[in-house]
Structure 1
Amino acid sequence: MTDDRAPGDEIDPALRTLDGDPLHGAAAVRDYFGDVYPRVLAFTEMLADQGVLRGLIGPRELTRVWERHILNSAAVVPFLGPGVTADVGSGAGLPGMVIAAMEPERSVVLIEPMERRVQWLLESARECGIENVTVLRGRAEEVRESVEADVITARAVASIDKLVKWCAPLLSEHGSMALLKGRSAADELERAKYALRKHHLAGEVLSAPTLEGLEPTTVVRLSR
């Protein structure tokens, strides 16, 4: 979700913080991320500082960055198999940058067609010390010759049938997809059955909890 504000518009620096987010600094968040918390924190603080300014998140989301964006993205990690992970339509770096921050040994490819978002991804990776990412500018269909992924992720990009059409050619022989979806995930999966059949994929809807008291994230896992 993005704001109507154009990138570069002046925003009060006092509003570009996580001070209003009740989860910021919470012990439960620190415990959830454990040793990787400093990297995740660095990215989260940079997203709060620059996200609205660059049109990556809306100003009303600053009070729930941890829940809505960071923990929501982190929820997919237990459902990722081993190997190279490609985040399609990475945008603000959700979930790709969060995955990379949490799993520094994993190679993560961030695929994003918009130049200003590519610059954001490059800058945030550099500033936050997240070194295990590669950023490619382009759509999934345009990077087929450059990417072979063992796992593909996507968040708020397109319907499942479209994602399968665009992304299945990027998968390795035994690759899988772990897509962050909303409450209509089961209906989307049903509508995608022909695309799944064509690409020899089977799908399941999974509940991905994070912190106690927060609504679980919905993950759609597609595998061969």
Structure 2
Amino acid sequence: MGRNHPADPAATLAQGIAALGLPLDAAQQERLLAYLALLVKWNQAYNLTAIRHPLAMVTKHLLDSLAVQPYLYGTRVLDVGSGAGLPGIPLAIADPAREFTLLDSNGKKTRFLLQAKGELRLSNLSVVHSRLEQYRPGQLFDTVTARAFASLADMVAGTAHLLAPGGSLLAMKGEYPQDELDALPPGFVVREIIALTVPGLEAQRHLVRIAPDV
């Protein structure tokens, strides 16, 4: 944590949201804190994340996810391998006009996601328990996000069939992923690479937007 950050999750979240320039109201911030409380509670039994301290979760989970919001495209967003709901749940709270689908193959994690959806009353969020290669939605997605994919090549191979025409893949990465960019298969193009600034986080964050080369 940076020395300028207050040692309180609510204050840290409010300060971070202001630094990101996101127009989240008090009710949305309360929902984010309610999600944080659920994550802390369920993490004790379900091991959803290696990060245990609520204050660290605010920076490394909530603000890290919210930093992606300005780069979403279209109305339908798929979060692949959502795990504990990152970035999908914070984005669904911050962006109620969009529809979010959270996909994960782990039954314990999807049970948590369903619990969070109900308790937080997220009507714009759906949870799907399925392996990625078996998932065939009735409607394709404008944006596909992934936070924990092994590589960009794996992401495009596994998710390109889920994109609507004109849609984009948004891969959340740490350091600039030059080796992964070099290994992208033919048929895809990198539209942009954004260096993200996550309030309170000193580590590098990059967002890679990839689209089919059509």
- Separation (CA, whole Å) in 2 of partners of 1:205 and 1:186: 11
Residue 109 of structure 1 aligns with an amino acid whose one-letter code is: T
Q: How far apart are 1:62 and its partner, in Å?
A: 4.0
> Residue 145 and residue 129 in structure 1: after superposition, are their counterparts in 2 closer, same or farther (change >3 A)?
closer
| 8 A contact 1:189–1:203 mirrored in 2 | no
Confirm or deny that 1:219 pairs with 2:199. Answer: no
TM-score of the aligned structures, taking structure 1 as reference length: 0.81
1:205 to 190, 193, 196: 193
Residue 22 of structure 1 aligns with an amino acid whose one-letter code is: A
1:125 to 113, 117, 128: 117
Structure 1 window deviating more from structure 2 (204-213 vs 90-99): it is 204-213
- Separation (CA, whole Å) in 2 of partners of 1:174 and 1:125: 29
> Residue 205 and residue 54 in structure 1: after superposition, are their counterparts in 2 closer, same or farther (change >3 A)?
same
Structure 1 window deviating more from structure 2 (53-62 vs 125-134): it is 53-62
1:149 to 141, 144, 147: 141
Q: How far apart are 1:23 and its partner, in Å?
A: 5.0
> Residue 203 and residue 30 in structure 1: after superposition, are their counterparts in 2 closer, same or farther (change >3 A)?
closer
Cα deviation digits, residues 120-178 of structure 1 (max 9, x gap):
10001111122211111112221134451100001113211001000000000110011
> Residue 39 and residue 214 in structure 1: after superposition, are their counterparts in 2 closer, same or farther (change >3 A)?
farther
Residue 49 of structure 2 aligns with an amino acid whose one-letter code is: I
Q: How far apart are 1:212 and its partner, in Å?
A: 6.3
1:66 to 54, 58, 61: 58
Paired residue for 1:109? 101
Q: How far apart are 1:25 and its partner, in Å?
A: 1.9
- Separation (CA, whole Å) in 2 of partners of 1:163 and 1:213: 25
| 8 A contact 1:161–1:191 mirrored in 2 | yes
Cα deviation digits, residues 71-97 of structure 1 (max 9, x gap):
111111111112200000111000011
- Separation (CA, whole Å) in 2 of partners of 1:113 and 1:79: 26
Runs of 4+ in 1 over 6 A off after TM superposition: none
Q: Which runs of 5+ in 2 are unaligned?
A: 1-5
Cα deviation digits, residues 199-220 of structure 1 (max 9, x gap):
x433432112232675453111
- Separation (CA, whole Å) in 2 of partners of 1:213 and 1:176: 26
- 5 Å matches for 1:1-224? 22-26=7-11, 27-29=14-16, 31=18, 34-35=24-25, 36-58=28-50, 60-192=52-184, 194=185, 197-198=186-187, 200-211=188-199, 214-215=202-203, 217-224=205-212
Any idea what SS the aligned residue of 1:150 has? Answer: strand
How many percent of aligned residue pairs carry the same amino acid? Answer: 29
> Residue 190 and residue 59 in structure 1: after superposition, are their counterparts in 2 closer, same or farther (change >3 A)?
closer
Q: How far apart are 1:39 and its partner, in Å?
A: 1.8
- Separation (CA, whole Å) in 1 of partners of 2:108 and 2:139: 22
- Separation (CA, whole Å) in 2 of partners of 1:202 and 1:30: 28
CA-based RMSD: 2.1
Structure 1 window deviating more from structure 2 (145-154 vs 98-107): it is 145-154
Any idea what SS the aligned residue of 1:157 has? Answer: coil
Any idea what SS the aligned residue of 2:102 has? Answer: strand
| 8 A contact 1:73–1:94 mirrored in 2 | yes
Paired residue for 1:12? none
Tell me the matched-pair count.
200
Q: How far apart are 1:104 and its partner, in Å?
A: 0.9
- Separation (CA, whole Å) in 1 of partners of 2:51 and 2:77: 30
